[in-house]
Amino acid sequence: MMSFSGYLPYAFAAIIAIPFLVLLRQFVHSYITLKNQEIRLLSIKSNSENKTHSYERMTLFLDRIKPSNLVQKFDKGLAVHEFIFLTEKTINDEFEYNSSQQLYITKNSWKNIVDSKNAIINLLHKTYDGLKGNAELEEFKTIFIMNYMEDNDYITATIEDLRKEILIIT
The predicted structure's pLDDT at residue 56: 93
In DSSP notation, the chain reads ---STTTHHHHHHHHHHHHHHHHHHHHHHHHHHHHHHHHHHHHHHHHHHHHHHHHHHHHHHHHHTSHHHHTTSS-TTS-HHHHHHHHHHHHHHHHHHHGGGGGTS-HHHHHHHHHHHHHHHHHHHHHHHHTTT---HHHHHHHHHHHHHHS--HHHHHHHHHHHHHHHH-
In DSSP notation, 52-80 reads HHHHHHHHHHHHHTSHHHHTTSS-TTS-H
What pLDDT digit, counting tens, does each position of 51-102 carry?
888 999 999 999 999 998 998 887 788 888 899 999 999 999 999 999 999 8
pLDDT at residue 41 tops 90:
no
Distance CA 144, CA 125 (A): 10
User: Mean pLDDT score of the chain, rounded to an integer?
Assistant: 87
Compute the average pLDDT of residues 123-139. 86
